[in-house]
Each structure stands twice: as C-alpha cells, then as structure tokens.
Amino acid sequence: AAVRVIANRISGQPVMLARPAQALAKGGKPGGSKARPRLVDKRRAPLLVRQHAGQLEPLDTHPALDLIHRPNPYMNESALKTLTVQSLLIAGVSYWWVPDGKAEQGLWFLSPDWVQPVNDDGELFVSYKITVRGTGEAVEVPASEVVRIHAPDLFEPYVGCWSALQAVAAAVVTDEHIQ
C-alpha cells in the first residue's frame, strides 16, 4: 500500500526536459530544433549534471515528451510513471522499450521480471531478452531500443540495483532472527 501511495504522488509530478542555455547564445532555436533526435542511444549515456538557475532552457516540445505523454494505445502518462516508480521501489530497476528506436512504435513499460540483460565479451547491456509472462517466448532486442532506469547498488553500481523494499525486508528478517 505504501508503494502505491508513493508512486501515485511521484507520478503526478510533471516531466520536464531542458537544454543548456548556451545553445541559444550559439544560434540555437528556442523550444528545440526541428531535427529529430534519437530517443535512445546506448553509445552515450545522458549527461546528468546539476545545473544552476539560468543555465537551462526548458523545452516545451520534444519527441521524448510526446512519448511520455502518450506512450502507447494501452497506457497513459500517469500509468507509465506510476509503474516506473513502483518498479524502482520494489525491484530497483525499470525498463522502457521503444521498438526499432522509433517513436511511432510507442513507448512500452516492461516489467523487470520480463527482462534479462545480455552482456558480451566484457561489454555490459549489449542487448536484452524480453519474455512476457505466460508466453514462454523470448525476444532479443538491441540495447539501443531499451531505456534502463535503475537505482544503483553500492556494491554493484553498474549492474546491480537497490530497492527500498529489499532494504526494509532485510531489516525485518534481521529483527525476526534477533527475537
């Protein structure tokens, strides 16, 4: 019940995208360019740096915002954000899939127990095997089509995931053994 309350509260928050304000000074166009950026690019992780006021220009339009607002025919923005937060709280990881890397195919939430990362020759997350519960059929998709959102684990920061529920469960088990 607590997970649902937290997820519902967080999913009500707006999603905002911005770009560095210097882009305008260099001749960029307000509101973003007409060039259609790739939605998922495994070769370059997004740069997450704390920016100070005035250093970012909010974007009103962007293909990623459009996808989040209307992910697919079966899900709305609120459901996507709620499931994503629930997944992070319970499993420590959440996955979104953009088939063929094209916005026209939609944005699909994937339950973490459906997804198995595939590593190859020392490279992490080369692809993902997706097995929808009840089908028994696995489909392997390139990493460029999957967005992996995770809460890093202190002891396995790149491949491990930390979840609040797992941390609480460990404390409960310890308490039970003490009593």
How many Cβ atoms are within 10 Å of 50's Cβ, its own excluded? 5
Task: Please tell me the predicted confidence (pLDDT) of residue 16.
Answer: 85
Q: What is each CA distance from 32 to 55, 80, 158, in whole angstroms? A: 15, 24, 32
Task: Please tell me the predicted confidence (pLDDT) of residue 84.
Answer: 94
Task: Please tell me the predicted confidence (pLDDT) of residue 52.
Answer: 62
How many Cβ atoms are within 10 Å of 113's Cβ, its own excluded? 10
Task: Please tell me the predicted confidence (pLDDT) of residue 71.
Answer: 96
Task: Please tell me the predicted confidence (pLDDT) of residue 12.
Answer: 85
Task: Please tell me the predicted confidence (pLDDT) of residue 174.
Answer: 83
pLDDT tens, N- to C-terminus, the chain (179 residues): 678 888 888 888 888 888 887 755 555 555 444 444 445 554 444 445 555 667 888 889 998 899 999 999 999 999 999 999 999 999 999 999 999 888 889 999 999 999 999 999 889 999 999 998 888 899 999 999 999 999 888 888 888 888 877 777 777 888 888 87
